[in-house]
Amino acid sequence: MSSRSDHVLTLFSGAGGFSYGFASAGIKPLCGAELDKSACESYEANVGSICHNVDLSQTPPSFFKDLLGGKQPFAIIGGPPCQGFSTAGSRNATDPRNRLIFNYLRIVDEVKPRWFIFENVEGLLTSGHGEAVSSLIQEFLKIGYSVRVEKVNLAAYGVPQTRKRVLIIGNRMGSVFHFPEEKFSYESGKAKKRSNKPFAPTLLEAISGLGKTSEKRKYTSHYASDAPENAYDALMRECNTSGFVTEHFDSTNAEDVHRYSLLRCGQTMKDLPEELWHESFRRRAFRRVQDGTPTEKRGGAPSGIKRLYGDLQSLTITGAACREFIHPTLHRPLTIRECARIQSFPDSYEFSGNASSVMQQIGNAVPPMAAAVFAKHLQELDGMHGSDLFSLPQVQSPRLLGYQLTESTGMSEALRKTDSLLKGLLQHEFDYT
């Protein structure tokens, strides 16, 4: 067996949110790997390690094995898009849509990290009638990993937004483990979980202290006051020695100011007079009617814009958030820096690329705060970092250790299909040699 290493590799690393969280927990990744050049530049400027600008559908696993010099890393983190696994039963490694996922599996198989964390959108659970996630789990089992899969809401770990994600965590030592304990209650008006735990920071707590916006992106702005306004504000300011704030600008025109002024918290474009609808919203709102899609399959109309509640956690930050999410009290959208804060990127984090690219980087990221929780949890579980790993229960062959698809009492028909497939895997042992 190769000598142990505490190295971490980040695949599909984006701007570095996952990596920054691990670094803040004391495990700075050896490197990232990302196709988008601007995201690579953001990664390197903030994480402080190299980000290889490569296409992971084409990069041979030997590339990463050579980087490690034969050592087995502590962890591989990150998750590729899973479109190719969306077709029921599709496990064809030659399918172009599957290259990313199969290469991810090949890299894990080749470099043999002790742990991996695979992150993806919640749609993975029902994709391909459950075959997508079932197939993916089976592939991890075949290469020697015991895994647990859960849908988590990252607000439960202190992120000031309700952000549902699927995490698959595995280890090759056969250790039976659980996900880190949730620490916070949350509510966004759409997703909520109330308990005796304190609430995650609200949206207004998250963006407090940033002060007035500048008029153009190239200008910096000043904090509202020298002293932080709350604990989250203090945390976000911590490494910002300049005292200036970047990416906190607003160029809303008078017509949009009027439009936003008519919205109350929780209201969307459809609550405005129709003559004030954006043309793009009008097209999307009526497209389902015009294209003949049956009523029961149309879903709701797009929200277009939405004024958020300040005293709740934010809705999920996406690449469109600074166009679509309206500030709780001001007649403008959230700024790029406000979106970054809601994703738990500190104010010192500098992003490369144009504004659209930066918002995509922010929206795609794993929030550093949540990443740090999982990094510390793996350290607590693993003997490399001072824990007695082998005091954990062990399994003799790779197993699906457990799963959680939903916390609600009911389950959709689509999720029931996934549940049925995963129940079958729970009892299955995979031979691995």
4's tokens: 């142990």
Report the 10 Å Cβ neighbour count for 223.
Answer: 20
The DSSP output letter for 383 is G
Q: Report the C-alpha gap between 148 and 4 in whole angstroms.
A: 23
Can 82 be counted among the known catalytic residues? Answer: yes
CA dist., res. 90 & res. 98, Å (int): 9
Contact 198, 185 (CB under 8 A): yes
- Whose structure tokens read 């015009």? 290
Residue pair 304/270 in contact by the 8 Å Cβ criterion: yes
- Encoding tokens for residue 196? 């005796």
Catalytic residue among 31, 40, 82, 339: 82
Closest CA to 415 of 424, 406, 407: 406
DSSP 249: B
Residues 312, 314, 316, 320: what is their CA dihedral angle, to the nearest 10 degrees?
150
Can you spell out the DSSP letters for 177-199? --PPPP--BEE-SSSEE-SSSPB
Cα–Cα distances (Å) from 93 to 53, 106, 107, 205, in that order, read 23, 11, 14, 46
Give the torsion sign (CA, 337, 341, 347, 353). negative
Distance, CA of 211 to CA of 248 (rounded, Å): 9
Residue positions annotated with a catalytic role? 82
